[in-house]
Chain A
Amino acid sequence: MKIFRTLSEKPWIPHPAGSEFLAKNYQKEIFIGRTALRFFISVVSVIFFLFTITFLTRSQFPDFQALAGEPWQPLSDASHLWLNTGALLISSIALHWAHVSARKNQLNGAIASVMIGAFFALLFLLGQILVWKQLIELGYYVASNPANSYFYLYTSVHGLHLLGGLFALAYVTLQLMKKNSLVTFSSSVRLCAVYWHFLLILWLFLFALLTSSTDTINIIAQLCGF
């Protein structure tokens, strides 16, 4: 483990092993961006982890009624959510493709992929809003049951993160127009793609959690000790 080797260095001895420190891998923008993104993804993961802890705790109170399980419950038929998931998946793949095209120096391919990625991300957000509308029409308001509250909370916080990602993507694309450097664009859009993959995985997790039946949630909660 590198971290333990680092922590066991003895800096007071005049020429420790670490003095060979050459900033080879360091101090390039790509590494800076990658480090920052890793920390940011950790922060977002912690946020959703904590939401989930509260979700599992709250689910053990008697008034909690999961949104799926029985046929009359709205998310038992999750076809809309599956469509949205498909849109997010396409968006994620498109951004990855944008990175690959930029690396191969294909400007048109890169631009087209970014546009497709952004379009499907927006489609996903729109789809989520439609699901909200559907739920409201069925009488599943935000405050009528904690499961509903969590559905709206999870989807909106997740959506806001995707929206933030779209702003970053727009910035990256504008930089490309301004500086016309595909090399920079390739590394920046790669960060966007990684963030998108993260949001996709996060969404798959939320999707599974929110469409679980009461029994499944109870089992998970018991496994976690609630």
Chain B
Amino acid sequence: MTHIAIADQPEEELHEPSSFVTKYIWSQDHKVIAIQYSITAIFVGLVALVLSGLMRLQLGFPDSFSFIDPSAYLQFVTMHGMIMVIYLLTALFLGGFGNYLIPLMIGARDMVFPYLNMLSYWVYLLAVIVLMASFFVPGGPTGAGWTLYPPQAILEGTPGAGGGILLMLISLAIFIVAFTMGGLNYVTTVLQARTKGMTLMRMPLSVWGIFIATILGLLAFPALLVSAIMMLLDMTVGTSFFMPAIVSLGEQLDYSGGSPILFQHLFWFFGHPEVYIVALPAFGIVSDVLSVHARKNIFGYRMMVWAIVIIGGLSFIVWAHHMYVSGMNPYFGFFFATTTLIIAVPTALKVYNWVLTLWRGNIHLTTAMLFAIGFIFTFTHGGLTGLFLGNVVIDLPLSDTYFVVAHFHMVMGVSPIMVLFAAIYHWFPKITGKHLHTGLGKAHFWVTFLGTYAIYLPMHYLGFLGVPRRYYAMGSTEFVPDSAQDLNASITVSALIVGVAQLIFIYNVIRSLRKGEKAESNPWGAASLEWQTPDTPPKHGNWGPALPVVYRWAYDYSVPTAKQDFIPQNMSEEEVERVDDSETSSTEGGEDVKNIGDEPVGDNP
């Protein structure tokens, strides 16, 4: 073997940590950074969860809570949305799982730029701190809606129009810097640090999803950065990039000629790819979880990769479907409706492939698998309502109603969260060396899964009734029947139950860390590389003295002639134990070893 991987080259320093501080705080180890990212993201996610509970309290039981005034309500809406989309989902999928999984899954010792990786986390933490600080400035955080549309976002009268929006924009800019540092690391690591034998098409789909999502992030976040910088200038030095001539509170302001629509285009040029920055890692991870726990190779691996790439490309030309009501040229709307519906094709293909992976599989209903299957349901529902909203004529009446709220929560709120939980339950034994408690996990799943339906199904109906979103109170609205209020109350009760149910998960994590059942190195019998590390949890450098060599793809499950029901990626053809010829002929589908990938495999031999 003439191959010398980077980590084995003598000049490579492995940044072996020597003290507690370098090991757990200023760590350059991708696994520690991943955990730091995850804990921070989950923490802000909990803040956003509480905010959503407060919003629901107001909507379900209006006028019962004196501390929620209209301004506070708008601030809760805004911060809930922004935190969940950017500071939780993006950070947890890419900063958390991306960091943990990429080097382990491609057989590297670490990210290619460990120092930059560490910097990425600390800059992200700074962004979070700046964002949280906005809760404590005079006027509170911004209440402009997570889309931050000018001119209202920076005008007097909008909650948090002073310090709140300023800190929000600064925090976003800092976040983007952090993301760019991390993102450059992830793509370079995937492209340049794969171990011997790990071709691109042998990578697990998790890595593909994270890789393409990172590229999307690198190309889409600049749009948010550009809009944040220009809005900051409009706000602080009085330029008129986005601000039209405007009278505010009876006073003519100094602005003139700017274009608020321009901001909307920029924002959604970021905002739509952002959906896929969150969704693609989820697609990848759920594929792996389904395949492992159904003991079958993923159906149509190549198609899955192509779909990820095509969805990534298409996601840049659909942004204006968020802007049908902005008064755009009808032909423009027609174009974007068409591209939006086209993107449903590769997406539907993925859903079919997940279902076909389960088809005749040997399904183990572990907690991770339950969440993964739950994802197929919630994602399909959210996706189907997306087909409605993608059409201009249907979107116009439904725009800014609860139908939209239900749609995007199903498709990019609940679904990625389902995958996140699947991923946590799936990889927790590898990350910590302990098993999560199965009973608590299943309780957590069922309450969350059924609860989300109790929350979001009625919202579709509210949307058809015409209940507008973002309203603090309905007032006397004749077209909305009184029963809508009962529905709202029931949604609130469900939401609170689901919110509280997340404590089961947190308890489960803490309990398992302390006295959980010890996990062996490969409890699910998974074939991908991260389960083949010499230590569990993996030590610094991941692979001990020598890097693994990859001989196959990551989905050799239930191979007909093999004795074990999975073949690890780093097992060469000679090492695989085969069943005897006499047994082979009696095994279904055993004659043709070459076709293993194409054959649906029955129950475990």
A, B bound:
yes
Q: Which residues of A contact B (CB under 8 A)?
A: 6-16, 18-19, 21-23, 26-29, 31-32, 35-36, 39-40, 42-43, 46-47, 50-51, 54, 57-58, 61-64, 142-143, 146, 149, 153, 157
In the assembly, what is the distance between CA of A31 and CA of B198, in Å? 17
Contacts of A43 in B (CB 8 A): 180, 184, 218-219, 222
CA distance in complex: A15, B574 (Å): 13
Chain B residue with Cβ nearest A21: B199
User: Would A143 and B594 be within 8 Å (CB), given that A7-B309, A22-B3, A32-B193 are in contact?
Assistant: no
A46 in contact with B198 (CB, 8 Å): no
CA separation between A8 and B262, bound complex, in Å?
40
Name B229's contact: one of A31, A40, A57, A153 (CB within 8 Å): A153
The residues of B that contact A57 with a CB separation of less than 8 Å are 259, 262
Which residues of B1-45 are within 8 A (CB) of A?
2-6
Contact digits for B221-245, partner A, Cβ 8 Å, 1 yes 0 no:
0110110011001000111110000
Given known contacts A12-B553, A36-B184, A51-B226, is B193 in contact with A58 (CB within 8 Å)? no
Q: Which 8 A-B pairs have the closest CB atoms?
A: A12-B597, A18-B199, A11-B553, A63-B257, A143-B238, A149-B239, A9-B201, A27-B6
Residue on B nearest A62 in the bound complex, by CB: B257
Chain A neighbourhood of B194, CB < 8 A: 23, 26
A7-B302, A12-B297 known; A47 vs B259 contact (CB < 8 Å): no
Tell me the nearest residue of chain B to A29, going by C-beta: B6
B269 and chain A: residue at smallest CB distance: A50
Report whether A26 and B192 are in contact in the complex, using a CB–CB cutoff of 8 Å: yes
Q: How far is the CA of A46 from the CA of B221 in the complex (A)?
A: 9
Q: Which residue of A lies closest to B594 (CB)?
A: A13
**Is the Cβ of B241 less than 8 Å from the Cβ of A54?**
yes
CA distance A26 to B198 in the complex (A): 12
A134–B552 alpha-carbon span in the complex (Å): 65
Q: How far is the CA of A197 from the CA of B233 in the complex (A)?
A: 29
22 A-B contacts (beta carbon < 8 Å): A7-B302, A9-B199, A9-B200, A9-B302, A11-B202, A11-B301, A12-B297, A12-B597, A13-B597, A18-B200, A19-B199, A22-B3, A23-B196, A26-B192, A31-B192, A46-B223, A54-B266, A61-B258, A64-B257, A143-B254, A146-B241, A146-B257
B197 at the interface (CB under 8 A from A): yes
Chain A residues near B112 (CB-CB < 8 A): 32, 36
> Which B residues touch A146, using CB under 8 A?
239-241, 257-258
Q: Among the listed A19, A26, A149, which residue makes an inter-chain contact with B241, where contact means beta carbons less than 8 Å apart? A: A149
Distance, CA A11 to CA B302, complexed state (A): 8
Chain B residues engaging chain A, CB cutoff 8 angstroms = 2-6, 112-113, 180, 183-185, 187-188, 191-202, 215, 218-219, 222-223, 225-226, 229-230, 233, 237-241, 254, 256-259, 262, 266, 269, 297, 301-302, 305-306, 309, 551-553, 555, 573, 593-594, 596-598
Most chain B CB within 10 A, of A8, A23, A43, A146, is at A23
Least Cβ–Cβ distance between A39 and chain B, in angstroms: 5
B197: chain A residues within 8 A (beta carbon): 19, 21
Q: A9 to B194, alpha carbons, bound, how many Å? A: 17
Q: A19-B551, A32-B112, A32-B193 are in contact. List 17 more A-B contacts (CB 8 A).
A: A6-B200, A6-B201, A12-B596, A12-B598, A14-B594, A18-B199, A19-B197, A21-B196, A32-B188, A35-B191, A39-B184, A40-B180, A43-B218, A50-B266, A61-B257, A64-B257, A142-B239
A36 / chain B contacts, CB cutoff of 8 Å: 112-113, 184-185, 187-188
Contacts of A143 in B (CB 8 A): 237-240, 254
Query: For B259, what are the chain A residues with a Cβ–Cβ distance below 8 Å?
Result: 57-58, 61
Q: How far is the CB of B283 from chain A (nearest CB, A)?
A: 17
In the complex, which of the residues A9, A32, A47 contacts B226, with contact meaning CB atoms closer than 8 Å?
A47
Chain B residue with the shortest CB-CB distance to A45:
B222
Q: A11-B199, A149-B240 are in contact. Are A54 and B594 (CB under 8 A)?
A: no
A146 CA / B237 CA spacing, docked (Å): 12
A residues in contact with B2, CB < 8 Å:
22
Q: How far is the CB of A60 from chain B (nearest CB, A)?
A: 9
